[in-house]
Structure formats: C-alpha cells, structure tokens
Amino acid sequence: MPFINVGQENSGPIDIYYEDHGSGQPVVLIHGYPLDGHSWEKQVPVLLEAGKRVITYDRRGFGRSSQPTTGYDYDTFAADLKTLVDKLDLRNMILAGFSMGTGEVTRYLGTYGSERVAKAALFGPIPPFLLQTDDNPLGVPQSVFDGFKDTITKDRYAWFKFFLDNFFNVDEFHGTRISDEAWNASFQVAAGSSAYATYACVATWLTDFRADLPKIDVPLLVVQGTEDRILPNAATGRRIPEIVKDCEYVPIEGGPHNVGWTHAEEVNEAFMKFIG
C-alpha cells in the first residue's frame, strides 16, 4: 500500500495513504467528511474508462492515513496535498474535491497557484465562507457549529447517524437512491476515523476562502444538489460564480449533499463533459 510522509507527531510519522491507478491525464479526487478516498467509487471507474489516471487519498485522521492530533486546518491540508502532488510529479491535472475536499482544492490554488492544474471541480462545496458574520449574512450561525461539537463530544456515533441521514437525505431517498447497506458502509468508515479529527474538523468548516477564490485562474466546475442540507446552496455553491470568473455551476435538482452517490449518473455526466 502506498503512503507518503507529511510530518511527524512526537515519535510517530504522519503518513497519508493514497491510491494511483490508470494512465493519461491525472485526476486527483479529495474526499468529504467523514469518509475516505474509497467514497469516489462511482466516479473512479468512469474516469479510468475515459483514459484518465486517477489518484485518491485519505485525509489525515481518516481512512488508512495516520490519525494525529495536529494539522487540522486548511493550510496543513493543502500542504499535505502539495506534498502528494510534488511526490507524484503530477502535471496538467484535474483537481476535484467533494465537501471538505473542496476546501483543499480552493486553498491549494489560492496558495500554490495553478502551474500543475488544468481544471478544478468542486462537488457540494464548502467555500466561499460558511460562518454567518456581519459581512457574511448568508452564512450559518456559530451556535449551529457549537451544537455539532457538543453532540460529537457526548456521542460521536450518534452524531454520525444524524450527519449521514442528512448527508444522503435518507427520508427522501431511503430504499431508492441509498440502501441500508450503503448507509451502513459509510457509517463504518466514519466510525473508523479518528475521534480527535471528528471533532477538530468542525472548526475547519468555518474557514474563510473568500481571498482564495479570486486567485483561481483555471476553469472551475461547481456541482451541488439543490436540497443540500449539509452545506446550503445559498451560502456556498451558488455564490462561487460571482467570485470566480471562469466558473460553471451545475445544480442537481432534488439532490442531497452527497450527489456523487445518490445522483452519480448526473454528476458523472457533468464532470466528464467538463473534463472534455
């Protein structure tokens, strides 16, 4: 299994697990919370069939990567991504993220530029700025995130139940677009994540990406379900075309947060058309 070292915590290394398949133009896929790189399983085969090289990896604290108690901020997440990109010497790549992964894409481009990037895609995006403030009235109140952290502290497994039900809009799609087995598989991945990371990542959702987005100088695709309960459209995806010049916004009608699973055909069609 391939790993790349991105740091050290006391006596232990911090290693990122990644997978690298296929050949051709590289496509880097960055997963959402609280899953891992395997959550792209409905996109990877389509990309491979199209002749792309597909790289997935597990964010620190999740999947098979190390579970440190340091580095849960987007500067570090983006630096982890850069270490992987540089090690594999990826060029002319498509950089794509889902949910939390959209933060890595945005901060990477805002910090390191687009020298190695041809295009970028955000699925269920967290930018531009999720927190409600005086200059960001469309954001979500701080009290909501405080409640999340309180729930995680008391019982993170109950939190995952609440989160994943809204992740897939289970009340709407149970038995049609999301099976009990698929839901349970996501729960098991979440339960295997770091307890520390489960809590620490909530604060990262409040990162302000408004200074990063205008620096994106490659074509950008934004795809989001119109019924996203995790990252509301009005506060996130619908605002991005106002900030990024070359941006295509594709709403998935009736879709929940994880449209990559529940509406994979629509998502894959939009993504492949964008890639070209």
- In the chain, the domains with their CATH numbers are 3-275 (3.40.50.1820)
Q: Phi/psi of residue 204, each to 5°? A: -70, -20
Out of 36, 65, 257, 263, the active site residue is 257
Task: Please give the pLDDT value at position 231.
Answer: 97
* pLDDT above 80 (res 233): yes
Tens-digit pLDDT profile for residues 131-163: 999 999 999 999 999 999 999 999 999 999 999
Tens-digit pLDDT profile for residues 95-128: 999 999 999 999 999 999 999 999 999 999 999 9
Q: Model's pTM, two decimal places?
A: 0.97
Active site residue 143: no
How far is residue 143's CA from residue 25's CA, in Å, rounded to a whole number? 43
Out of 36, 58, 212, 228, the active site residue is 228
Out of 99, 186, 193, 194, the active site residue is 99
